[in-house]
């Protein structure tokens, strides 16, 4: 479990993290979303031991990450600007990383070779950006970490490879119980893979929920009222819109409760439809004042 409590990190007086608090349950895939400059990369660098937070606590399995070699053996990260030695090939980097990660598996490395289909002897600098990213996944997944920290991980990957990579990551989650913290500025990117989501803005975590919690707490219904009537005034809705006689209502409650509430108005049609992550966040955060629009656009 990753626990961040009131983390503060300042750069020349500017607080990139300003009391961020979040909790990543073990075995979960946690999506950390936020606009550019929200502090996602800073938080990740703190979690991987690159930066030391000025205040607050960052622990993984109850231990501080800073200068904790044993713990860092269990954490592997792919930075948004993944670094490799200028002359190195994938194989060279493999040899290098094997010297650091006791769990690095050559067997896995060989298996993943078939997935990524990159010439392992070719210098990484000669590969395209997308292929370099693939190489980063190849090596990082071969390290068999308990914690995988990914910063904007699929930027530059084509859709097929994105699916492939996520499939591998989720495979590790389900088979080995790997905990994944993934940052992105795009909610849609994380929608299909995350079971927990946190929104970071101006160095603070504005909201964090499990996907189940979010979906249980909010419902989207399509309703047709009798005699073409409108939404009753006494009905509590977060948002209402209509196309012809079909009203679309967003309500902060479960689907069953919402259906019961509507039953008193004897609607001609009540149908619950799935909410996208984007919609949940927009309505949950009220849409205004927060940078949600930056996240979803």
Partner 1 sequence: MRSKTSYFNPALYKKNLTRFWPLWGGASVLGALAPLALLTVMLQSGGFGRRISTPLEFTLGYYSVVTWFLPALSLVYAALCALAAWGWLYNPRSAGMYHSLPITRKGLFATNFLSGLSMMLIPYAVTGALSVLVSAAAAGVDPAGLLVTILCVLGESLFFFASATLVVFITGNPFAFAAFYFIFHFLAAGAEWLAARLMSMFYFGVDRAYEGVLEFLSPVMFLTRKPSVDASYRQIVTPDGWIDNGVLESVTLVNGWYIAVYALAGLALLGCAWALYRRRRSESAGDVVAVGWMKPVFRYGVALCAAFTGGMVLYSIFCEGFQTRTTAGAAPMAACMAAAGVLGYYIASMLLSKSLRVFRGSWKGALATVLASAALCFAVAADPFGLEAWVPRAEEVQSLLFYTSGLNGNSLHSELTDPAAIQEVLEAHRAILAERDTLDRQRLPEKGYRHVWIILEYFRDGEDESAGRSYSIPCTPALIEQSEALRKLAALAVSPAVQEANIFSSVYGPDQTSRLTGGYLSRLYNPQTGESDSLDLTAEQAKVLEGAIRRDIQAGHFGKTMFLPDEDYDRAAYCGQLELYYSLTSLTGRWTGPRSVSVYLDLSVYSTETVKALESLGLTDETHRLLTCAERDAVEGRLPAGLENPYSFPAAGSIVYPEAAYVYPGESF
Task: List residues near partner 1 by CB under 8 A.
Answer: 11, 45, 48-52, 61, 63, 67-73, 75, 77, 79, 81-83, 85, 87, 95-96, 98-101
- In this complex, which beta carbon is closest to partner 1, that of residue 66 or of residue 265? 66
| Residue 126 Cβ vs partner 1, minimum distance, rounded to whole Å | 17
The closest alpha carbon to 133, from 188, 78, 190, belongs to 78
| Residue 82 Cβ vs partner 1, minimum distance, rounded to whole Å | 8
- In this complex, which beta carbon is closest to partner 1, that of residue 50 or of residue 170? 50
| Residue 146 Cβ vs partner 1, minimum distance, rounded to whole Å | 12
Distance CA 180, CA 27 (A): 7
| Residue 21 Cβ vs partner 1, minimum distance, rounded to whole Å | 22
- In this complex, which beta carbon is closest to partner 1, that of residue 62 or of residue 244? 62
| Residue 297 Cβ vs partner 1, minimum distance, rounded to whole Å | 28
| Residue 45 Cβ vs partner 1, minimum distance, rounded to whole Å | 7
* DSSP output for 114-169: HHH---TTSBGGGS-HHHHHHHHHHHHHHT--SEEEEESTTTT--HHHHHHHHHHH
| Residue 137 Cβ vs partner 1, minimum distance, rounded to whole Å | 15
- In this complex, which beta carbon is closest to partner 1, that of residue 102 or of residue 229? 102
Per the listing, tokens 């929200």 go with: 38
């Amino acid at each position: 479990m990753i626990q961040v409590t009131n983390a503060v990190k300042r750069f020349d007086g500017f607080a990139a993290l300003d009391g961020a608090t979040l909790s990543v349950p073990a075995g979960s895939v946690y999506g950390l979303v936020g606009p550019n400059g929200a502090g996602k990369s800073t938080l990740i660098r703190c979690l991987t031991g690159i930066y030391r937070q000025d205040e607050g606590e960052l622990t993984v399995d109850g231990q501080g990450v800073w200068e904790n070699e044993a713990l860092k053996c269990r954490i592997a990260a792919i930075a948004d600007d993944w670094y490799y030695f200028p002359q190195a090939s994938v194989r060279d980097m493999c040899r290098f990383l094997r010297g650091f990660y006791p769990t690095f598996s050559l067997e896995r490395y060989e298996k993943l070779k078939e997935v990524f289909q990159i010439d392992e002897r070719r210098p990484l600098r000669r590969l395209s950006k997308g292929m370099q990213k693939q190489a980063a996944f190849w090596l990082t997944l071969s390290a068999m970490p308990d914690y995988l920290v990914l910063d904007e991980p699929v930027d530059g990957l084509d859709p097929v490879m994105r699916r492939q990579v996520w499939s591998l990551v989720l495979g590790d989650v389900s088979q080995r119980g790997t905990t994944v913290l993934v940052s992105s500025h795009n909610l849609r990117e994380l929608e299909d893979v995350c079971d927990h989501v946190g929104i970071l803005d101006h160095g603070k975590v504005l909201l964090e929920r499990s996907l189940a919690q979010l979906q249980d707490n909010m419902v989207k219904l399509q309703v047709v009222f009798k005699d073409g009537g409108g939404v009753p005034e006494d009905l509590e809705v977060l948002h209402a819109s209509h196309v012809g006689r079909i009203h679309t209502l967003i309500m902060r409650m479960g689907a069953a409760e919402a259906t019961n509430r509507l039953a008193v108005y004897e609607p001609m049609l009540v149908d619950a439809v799935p909410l996208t992550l984007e919609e949940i966040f927009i309505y949950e955060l009220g849409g205004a004042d927060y940078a949600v629009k930056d996240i979803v656009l």
